Structure 1
Amino acid sequence: MSLVWKFFISYVVVVAIGLLVLSLSVAYVAPSSFSQSVEHMMMGARAHAGEDAGEMGHAGPGGMMAGGILVGSTSITNDELDASFRSAVNSALWKAAGAAILAAGIVSGIGSLYILRPLRRVAGASQHIAEGHYDQRLPVSSRDELGDLVENFNRMAETLAENETMRRQLIGDVSHELKTPLASIKGYMEGLEDGVIAPTAETFRLVHQEADRLQRLVYDLQELSRSEVVSSTLDLHPADPGKLIAAVVDRLQPQFADKGITLAVEVSPALPTMAVDADRIEQVLTNLIGNALQYTPAGGQVAVRAASHGAALRVSVQDSGVGLAPGDLAKVFQRFYRVDKSRSRASGGSGIGLTIAKHIVDAHGGRIWAESDGPDQGSMFIFTLPLK
């Protein structure tokens, strides 16, 4: 049940309790108070009448009199009756108000506890998260807006925990990648200084190769940093998607031929021109096709397809490579994540190409995802861009 309806029902309950208390007060308290007031007035009137009778020597008969009632020799005026009635009703209303306020306070207190308890839990858990304890989770005890709040809080905590894990992994990966080539370069330099290693062309080539690894890592980190703020630097111009795909395929075709992998292209004719950052979209295509080249063995096939799909352009890159496990589908776009953990960075890339591709597609208002039937079943990477 929605929290709005729960509030509404609680208000109705409070009003109903107030009306019930009021009706009971009018039904039982008011008559009793009125009777007591009338009896009190009659006693006073009798006492006064007795004094008058003693002076006059007789008492008049009881009955009705103009402007009031006469009981024996006791008379009560209509004004006195009205005042007594108003006093009785006011007394009943004051008592009813007190009882209604008490009942409403109890109901409101219970409702407030129901609302405040999960809010206090969220506040306490958020304080723990602010202190760096990302394992904090809360039980979901309702199916209303408060329950949604708790579920969203738990998802936020899980995301923060994953980001913290990724941050630590990133630091570890970068440290490792910097340490390995630096250690090699230092070793070669020390060997050259001590005369243990001959200053041959091969030695210098190996040192240059390690320096290239460092340069590639720095370049990848720079590209990642730029891709995360790419939405503010897009240079949008009308472009033909078919020509963008053809340019990337022509550039990578020799690498496919060297590895013995078939590269097929299926682009629908007359694709509409769309406003995109051509260089960035070519970067996405290069990353996706290059990823397929990297993880497809010799003799495999890679197919690039593009077609209009509703109000969007749909581009897919399908390969017959190592495939993806279900747990990898949601992680392949994370920084430095690689499906084949046995590959080194030199042979398996830095693991940020798909991350950069996702940032660029998101900045264009599109969507990118991966599909696979499982390990060794190949995979397909698809992205869509809105047709403008």
Structure 2
Amino acid sequence: MSARKWMQSLFPNGFLWRLSLLNIVVVASAIVLSGLAIYNTACFLVDAMGTLNRPQQRQFNAVLFNYLLIFSVITIVGGSLLHFYLTKKLIKPVRSLIVSAKQLKKGEYPEFIEVTTRGEIGELASHFNGLVKQLKANDEYRQKLISDLSHELRTPLTNLNGYLQLLEHGDIEGSRELYTSLHNESKRLTLMMEQVEQLKEWDYLASRDYAQYTEAEMSDLIRQCTDMFSWRRAQEDIPITVQAEARRLSIHVEGIQQVISNLLENAIYYYTGSEMIDVQGEVQASVYFVSVGGQSELIPEEEADNIFERFYRLDHSRNKTTGGSGLGLAIAKEIIDNHGGRIGVMSEGCYNTFWFELPLE
């Protein structure tokens, strides 16, 4: 092994080598200066006392110098080795950070760094672990979103291309019903892309410490959202009752409007009974509780949490021509999470109540 490789194995980190060398110089200088000061002071005091003759004084000076030299060398070597060991242990997380950063640069996700020290270096390692965890989660989410989106787009695009190709070759004749079906499929794709954009926007807001929150009266907001469906509920003869308690909250107005509208849209779209759709808003303890309940198909208990996942649809609504995009409830959950609230569903037979709550402060 060459001398250079031997030194690299002994001091594998340039910073550790420089820090150790600097410490040796500082410690050695302090010890040498202190030793010389002690030597000269002791020699001067003994000589001033006049108890020793010249040969004895010279012998005393030589013995004292030898002892101070031995002690100085031992102290310098021992202190330097101890400093090197402690410093190497102290900056071990920094070396791990360098290796992990190189892996991140290559697109790989390193293992979490073991935090063995406290203070700034330990805090830096902890933050780096959090960064790796967040980057990995973001990448997994991106891959899942792309996979889900491509899966959702494949069937409608295949249908559109197939029908258009048949029309182009004259294998089928166009009809009002066919064009309406193709137009609806096109609108559904457009809506899906708009909802993906909304999800991206709320994901961005969720990663920031601020959002455009304003004071708003919840009772007025709930009634405004309900009034937007007045024409549709009149056309489909669906009764809706609203009871909303007055309370002003600091919220993202457009976001909460979208949540209420999404829940109402679901309640009307999947409405199957004759009872009223009940919309309520009330203050409960430290939250404002909003619920939209109505008769619809049974939601299995094991699927209650899954319906808020992106692109998820219940088995009975997976038909691409009748089911939604599977993004409406996911957007609602993203908005409520951004407000620090909760969202869920309660089912009693075929009566389903979707609810969310917002903190009062």
Classify the TM-score, shorter chain: 0.5 to 0.7
Q: Which amino acid aligns with 1:137?
A: E
Partners in 1 of 2:127 and 2:347 — Cα distance? Answer: 31
Q: Aligned to 1:367, what secondary structure does the other structure show?
A: coil
Q: Aligned runs of 1:1-388 on 2, under 5 Å?
A: 68-69=50-51, 75-76=53-54, 81=57, 89=64, 91-134=66-109, 136-138=110-112, 140=114, 142=116, 144=118, 153-228=128-203, 238-252=215-229, 267-268=244-245, 270-271=246-247, 273-274=248-249, 276-290=251-265, 304-307=280-283, 309-310=285-286, 314-317=288-291, 321-323=299-301, 328=305, 332=308, 336-338=310-312, 340=314, 343-344=318-319, 346-357=321-332, 360-361=335-336, 366-370=339-343, 381-384=355-358, 387=361
Question: Per-residue deviation at 1:209?
Answer: 2.0
Residues 96 and 252 (structure 1), Cα distance of their counterparts in 2 relative to 1, 3 Å cut: farther
Q: State the shift of 1:202 in Å.
A: 1.8
The residue type equivalent to 1:178 in the other structure is L
Query: Counterparts of 1:337 and 1:181 in 2: how far apart (Å)?
Result: 14
Change in Cα spacing, 1:173 to 1:107, as seen in structure 2 (3 Å) is: same
Question: Unpaired runs of 5+ in structure 1?
Answer: 1-17, 42-65
Q: Which runs of 5 or more residues in structure 2 are unaligned?
A: 1-26
TM-score using structure 1 length: 0.60
Q: Assess, with a 3 A threshold, how the Cα gap between structure 1 residues 149 and 370 changes in structure 2: closer, same or farther.
A: farther
The answer on whether the counterparts of 1:178 and 1:214 sit within 8 Å (CA) in structure 2 is: yes
How far residue 367 of structure 1 moved from its aligned partner, in angstroms, is 0.9
| TM-score, structure 2 as length reference | 0.63
Shift of 1:217: 2.0
8 Å Cα contact 2:333-2:343 kept in structure 1: no
CA contact (8 A) 2:214 2:250 kept: yes
Deviations 1:103-147 (A, max 9, x none): 22222222223222233223322322332223x323646485667
Q: Distance in 2 between matches of 1:232 and 1:68?
A: 79
- C-alpha separation in 2, matches of 1:68 and 1:204: 122
Identify the residue that residue 20 of structure 2 maps to in structure 1. none
Number of residue pairs matched by the alignment: 314
User: Does the aligned pair in 2 maintain the 1:323–1:375 contact within 8 Å?
Assistant: no
Root mean square deviation of aligned Cα = 5.0
**Sequence identity, in percent?**
22
C-alpha deviations, 1:309-347, integer Å up to 9, x for none? 55xx53343768444669x57x946xx342647725554
Residue 307 to residue 137, structure 1, CA distance change in 2 (3 Å): same
1:368 and 1:381 in contact (8 A); partners too: no
Q: Which residue of 2 aligns with 1:11?
A: none
Larger Rg: 1
